[in-house]
């Protein structure tokens, strides 16, 4: 039987969604300020780019902490809902995000596993596509930033693409968080554990 004492992490989910959205907007201001300083370096532009960058880093750090807190709680819920499913340890669920190369592949699978184990209502095609679109936007954003800073520093095209991808990733991640939280909220009210979902 599934315990009804545990609840979906709705407050953490909403907090993470808000922090992610604000960080994405802050990133747009940061990128514009950094580009402006690169093209027209002055003391004023240096101050503005430094301030905007500091604000972004702080907001992004908050967003990361809240997202990982949501992920950790969602993992525990998914494990309770699907006792037969296999999950990585809590430490690896969080740690994989900070290991170079690994963090471009493994975390996506963690989110998919949590989603599948959260409810029999997980729709393989639609929900997996949502996670994949978020992950593609996030990884492409990272690649554009790295390549763009070396190949075309200060490029408006690179700035627009990077910001668009950041905002897209933020919106899609907000939808992923909403979907998994809603599934867990409904499933935790059931009395029968979720059957292990097929991998794929």
Given a cut of 60, is residue 193 above it in pLDDT?
A: no
Name the pLDDT band for 36 (thresholds 50, 70, 90).
Answer: confident
Given a cut of 70, is residue 155 above it in pLDDT?
A: yes
Compute the average pLDDT of residues 171-190. Answer: 92
Q: Which residue has the higher pLDDT, 129 or 44?
A: 129
Compute the average pLDDT of residues 81-107. Answer: 91
pLDDT tens, position by position, 40-90: 889 888 899 899 999 999 999 999 999 999 999 999 999 999 988 888 888
Residue 73 confidence (pLDDT): 95
Residue 176 confidence (pLDDT): 98
Name the pLDDT band for 200 (thresholds 50, 70, 90).
Answer: very low
- Lowest mean pLDDT across 29-33, 180-184, 191-195: 191-195
- CB-based contacts of 98, cutoff 8 Å, min separation 6: none
Residue 1 confidence (pLDDT): 38
Residue 34 confidence (pLDDT): 86
Name the pLDDT band for 127 (thresholds 50, 70, 90).
Answer: very high
Residue 190 confidence (pLDDT): 62
Given a cut of 50, is residue 3 above it in pLDDT?
A: no
Residue 161 confidence (pLDDT): 94
Given a cut of 90, is residue 151 above it in pLDDT?
A: no
**Residue-averaged pLDDT of the chain:** 89
- Please provide the DSSP assignment of the chain as one string: ---SS----HHHHHHHHHHHHHHHHHHHHHHHHHHHHHHS--HHHHHHHHHHHHHHHHHHHHHHHHHHHHHHHHHHHHHHH-TTS----HHHHHHGGGSTTGGGTHHHHHHHHHHHHH-TT--HHHHHHHHHHHHHHHHHHHHHHHHHHHHSTT-HHHHHHHHHHHHHHHHHHHHHHHHHHHHHHHHTT-SSPPPPPPP-
Name the residue ranges covered by the structural domains of the chain.
10-187
Compute the average pLDDT of residues 156-163. Answer: 91
């Amino acid at each position: 039987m599934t315990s009804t004492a545990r609840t979906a992490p709705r407050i953490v989910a909403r907090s993470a969604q808000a922090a992610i959205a604000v960080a994405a907007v802050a990133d747009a201001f940061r990128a514009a300020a950094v580009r402006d300083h690169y093209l027209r370096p002055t003391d004023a532009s240096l101050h503005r780019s430094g301030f905007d960058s500091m604000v972004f880093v702080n907001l992004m750090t908050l967003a990361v902490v809240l997202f990982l807190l949501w992920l950790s709680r969602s993992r525990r819920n998914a494990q309770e809902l699907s006792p037969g499913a296999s999950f990585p340890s809590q430490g690896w669920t969080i740690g994989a995000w900070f290991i170079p190369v690994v963090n471009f592949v493994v975390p996506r699978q963690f989110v998919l596993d949590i989603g599948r184990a959260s409810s029999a209502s997980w729709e393989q095609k639609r929900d997996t596509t949502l996670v994949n679109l978020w992950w593609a936007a996030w990884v492409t954003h990272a690649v554009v930033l790295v390549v763009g800073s070396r190949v075309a520093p200060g490029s408006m095209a690179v700035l627009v693409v990077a910001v668009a991808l950041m905002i897209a990733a933020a919106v899609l991640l907000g939808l992923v968080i909403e979907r998994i939280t809603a599934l867990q909220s409904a499933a935790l009210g059931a009395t029968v554990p979720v059957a292990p979902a097929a991998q794929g």
